[in-house]
Amino acid sequence: MAGLGEFEWDRVRGRFVVSERMAAITGLPAGAMSAEDMKTLEPFIHPDDLADLRAGIVSQRPAGGIYEFEFRQVRPDDGRVVWLRVAGVMTRTPEGRPQNVTGIVQDVTTRHLEEDQRQTLMAELDHRVKNVLATVQALAVQTARRTTSLDGFLANFAGRLKAMGSANELLTAARWRGAAIDHLAAAELGVVAPGQTGWEGPELFLTPRAANALALGLHELAANAVKYGALSVETGRVNLRWTRLADGGFELTWTESGGPTVTPPTRRGFGSTLLDQVTGRELNGSTSVDYRPAGVVAKLRAGAAAVAPRPETVPEAPAQRIAETVITSSGPTNLRGARVLIVEDAVLLAMELEMGLSDAGAQVIGPAYELEEAMGLLDQPIDAAVLDANLNGHSVTPVAEALSARGVPFVFATGYGEKAGAPGGFDAPVIRKPYDVTQVAAAVAELLAARTAIS
């Protein structure tokens, strides 16, 4: 049998026989060796595993002479440490004394290495998730402290959360090895004002920490430009340019032009604090914002520690991904009387969607948390639907196909970053998580308005 080696231990004669295949696995010499008792073989066992092995022998004695162990062995030929699985059957003399042990040996080093790697990855994932949750919590608290209204808090916090989400999506696509500056710029500016923004500079990749910091910094600058600066008018423009520095870092310059005359702010908001304290420190550099009358000019300087090597896997630029739904309607969304199906496997998100759509006047069907549950609701009158792309590992495609066949419009609210069109290739708007529920409600309203106009 491939990957297995055999042995035979004659306890009466004190003779341990190693097969050729076992020799190849363990590095022990093939043939017979003297072995009066277990202690003779203990020098070949990793010292850290001896105590467990001895305890295992004692605990398995009542099993009728069947033994199975896994332990590390230090190979005597090259000193390598390998994991072995040993299984054997012992026969006894009529008097009950050990007579013979016949068994097999298997090298299970690869399995243990994979398990160690899995444990390491799980620990790293746990660490990252806790860091993200802690950052989101701090972002919420800091935003709340500097916002005077609930609507203002929700808008500011949602925007910052989305900036973090875009950065994390790029990092995930590159296996958390780094994110390109031009991709970060495209993720923020390419959505906010694609016809009024431009960016250029050498290929540079940032560490995960620096990428998140720069994403938040660009979001604050863009949000300010949309509210008060160059992007608040159609004639305005934002140019982003970065250059390498001799010390291994880089300098990024944000320049606004064509907008209203700029006056310095009278108070310092959280956006300014975030740019100065968070972005600057996380980039191991500094930030400065110059409120020139012709337009804001911001400079972000980063140290070499913020720059990462080029990842083996580089994701496509966000410009080639799905275009997220841009809501053009203004004011409160009116969904009065509309029957809207919610399909979402995250209970808290489903509750939030149900509340938001109900507040807009919709009659909510569901929510459905599982694919089978969603399919069971399709026999009801439905005017529109909000679909999560993945339901506990199952594609929502069957639901989308059934709705499409009936002419019922739907919007995808998903955490997946599809590269070409909506999930499943459907002609449907997409809102990517994290999202503001008002976005979803407005998207549903636009779908219903378009449907009414066609009919």
Query: Which CATH number belongs to the domain containing residue 68 in this structure?
Result: 3.30.450.20
CB 170 within 8 A of CB 180: yes
Instruction: Clarify whether residues 386 and 266 are in a common domain.
Output: no
Instruction: Clarify whether residues 415 and 383 are in a common domain.
Output: yes
Q: For position 154, which CATH number holds?
A: 3.30.565.10
Element (H, E) at 182: helix 181-192
Mean pLDDT over each residue of the chain, to the nearest integer: 82
Instruction: Clarify whether residues 241 and 360 are in a common domain.
Output: no
Name the one residue in this structure whose structure tokens are 């911001």.
298
Answer yes or no: is 331 within a domain: no
Answer yes or no: is 415 within a domain: yes
pLDDT at 365: 94
- As a whole-number percent, the residues of the chain with pLDDT over 90 amount to 32
What is the phi-psi region of residue 50: left when phi exceeds 0, alpha when psi lies from -120 to 50, beta otherwise? alpha
Give me the mean pLDDT over the 39-66 stretch. 81
Q: What is the number of other CB atoms lying within 10 angstroms of the CB of residue 48?
A: 10
pLDDT at 372 over 50: yes
Instruction: Clarify whether residues 129 and 102 are in a common domain.
Output: no
Q: Running DSSP on this structure, what letter comes out for residue 322? A: P
Residue (of 8, 30, 14, 9) closest to 76 by Cα position: 30
Pairing of strands 15-18, 31-34: antiparallel
Q: Please, which pLDDT band fits residue 327 given cuts at 50, 70 and 90?
A: very low
Task: Give the three-class secondary structure for 409.
Answer: coil
pLDDT at 134 over 70: no
Q: Which two tokens stand for residue 30?
A: 């093939």
Domain count, the chain: 3
Q: Which two tokens stand for residue 402?
A: 């059934």
Instruction: Clarify whether residues 168 and 288 are in a common domain.
Output: yes
Residue (of 218, 205, 340) closest to 275 by Cα position: 218
Q: Please, which pLDDT band fits residue 116 given cuts at 50, 70 and 90?
A: confident
Answer yes or no: is 252 within a domain: yes
Pairing of strands 410-414, 430-432: parallel
Q: For position 449, which CATH number holds?
A: 3.40.50.2300
Instruction: Clarify whether residues 274 and 163 are in a common domain.
Output: yes
pLDDT at 135: 59
Answer yes or no: is 424 within a domain: yes
pLDDT at 311 over 50: yes
Instruction: Clarify whether residues 280 and 363 are in a common domain.
Output: no
pLDDT at 36: 77
Answer yes or no: is 333 within a domain: no
Instruction: Clarify whether residues 160 and 72 are in a common domain.
Output: no
Q: Please, which pLDDT band fits residue 329 given cuts at 50, 70 and 90?
A: very low
Instruction: Clarify whether residues 146 and 214 are in a common domain.
Output: yes
Instruction: Clarify whether residues 75 and 151 are in a common domain.
Output: no
CB 223 within 8 A of CB 159: yes
Instruction: Clarify whether residues 364 and 403 are in a common domain.
Output: yes
**Around 409, how many Cα atoms within 13 Å sit in the side-chain half-sphere?**
16
Answer yes or no: is 324 within a domain: no
pLDDT at 173: 63
Statement: the pTM of the whole predicted model exceeds 0.85: no
Q: What is the number of other CB atoms lying within 10 angstroms of the CB of residue 249?
A: 19
pLDDT at 380 over 70: yes
Domain that holds residue 370: 339-454
Higher pLDDT: 420 or 178? It is 178
Answer yes or no: is 44 within a domain: yes
Name the one residue in this structure whose structure tokens are 């809102």.
431
Answer yes or no: is 114 within a domain: no
- From 76, 107, 138, the end of a domain falls on 107
- From 50, 75, 107, the end of a domain falls on 107
Backbone phi, psi, residue 247, to 5°: -85, 5
Residue (of 38, 37, 43) closest to 13 by Cα position: 37
- From 319, 351, 376, the end of a domain falls on 319
- Which stretch of 268-272, 329-333, 391-395 has the lowest confidence by average pLDDT? 329-333
Cα–Cα distance, 63 to 98 (Å, whole number): 14
**Packing angle between helix 208-227 and helix 181-192, nearest 10 degrees?**
30
pLDDT at 421: 52
Instruction: Clarify whether residues 448 and 305 are in a common domain.
Output: no
